[in-house]
Amino acid sequence: MKTVANQCFEFKNRLLPQNGKIVLLDTKYRLKSYLGLWRGYYQALKGNVYREDSYPLIIGSQVDIQIEARAAIYLKNNTKQVALGHAVNPFYLKAANIGLPPYWRFLNHPARQCTRLRLQENSRLICEPNSMITPGCYISIWPNQSLTIGMNSYIGHNTLVNTKSSLVIGSGVMIGFDCYIMDYDGHPIYQDQNAIGDDKNSYGGASDPIVIEDNVWTGFNVTILKGVRVGSGSMIAPNSVVTKEVPPNTIVAGNPAKVIKEGIVWKKF
């Protein structure tokens, strides 16, 4: 016996043919992108966005932005020699996207929460053309630090990026969903201000920058810890914990992650 939900689904399929569904989904995504474009303009009017290139910023409807004094989102193209890749938003080909899902034809992982950006005093979030922070991500940048997301790069749903030292994500990087990228040790064991000092920058212990080079692919639920450099053209298998340098053009896996294959080559189809 069919459930009511199945009957409604079948009725909708008969009522709206496949071509009609494509047009409807296409229109909804175009509308979301247009409204997100105006949210980007609004943040620029508030002084939270600085443009060093002409591409737009698109902000999704469920984005919580906390920007402290002298902190801002920068639209800056550091890699002009890199060709624009597959557009994550086909209606605004070079746009930087924050909190908007990829184009509807992709299977989007369900986000459990809204997208949150926390830019502390004098910090920078640098978004290059055709970059995307998908829904559910948590991005936190400590005072006087920066996070760079390169051209054609993508941060998957529900990923946490917390940087106490400046963090660089290169071009053509694909970061899977539910990942953790954190370049410091975290909170102390004992919550004693005398033990950790009064300077809030001393809180969290030692830190060491993380660099993710170009054309890197991380699977889901990957953890990347402080001081790691991920070489270009490499792949990190799902559920891996990366604690040391990843050589270029390798596949690493495990906890801690180890090289399981070398000399890999990516091809475009």
Cα–Cα dist 132/123, whole Å: 19
Q: What is the pLDDT of residues 249-261, one digit of tens each?
A: 999 999 999 999 9
At a CB cut-off of 8 Å and minimum separation 6, what does 73 contact? 43, 48, 49, 50, 57, 67, 98, 117, 119, 124, 125, 126, 127
DSSP secondary structure letter of residue 181:
E
Lowest mean pLDDT among 80-89, 119-128, 238-247: 80-89
> Is the pLDDT assigned to residue 203 strictly greater than 70?
no
Q: What is the pLDDT of residues 159-180, one digit of tens each?
A: 999 999 889 999 999 999 999 9
Model pLDDT, residue 192: 57
- The token pair at 134 is 């998908």
Confidence category of residue 15, pLDDT binned at 50, 70, 90: low
What are the extents of the domains in the chain?
Answer: 4-262
Where do we find the tokens 């559910």?
A: 136
| 261: phi then psi, degrees, rounded to nearest 5 | -155, 140
pLDDT mean over 2-10: 62
Q: What is the pLDDT of residues 22-44, one digit of tens each?
A: 777 788 889 999 999 999 999 99
> Is the pLDDT assigned to residue 3 strictly greater than 80?
no
Pick 20 or 254 by higher pLDDT: 254
pLDDT mean over 202-220: 87
Q: Which amino acid is at 159?
A: T
Cα separations in angstroms, 37 against 32, 43, 54, 160: 9, 10, 13, 24
> Is the pLDDT assigned to residue 115 strictly greater than 90?
yes
Global pTM reads 0.85
- Which of 179, 182, 233 lies closest to 210 in space, CA to CA? 182
Cα–Cα dist 58/37, whole Å: 4
Model pLDDT, residue 198: 47
Model pLDDT, residue 33: 93
Lowest mean pLDDT among 93-107, 162-176, 214-228: 93-107
CATH class of the domain defined by 4-262: mainly beta
Model pLDDT, residue 87: 76
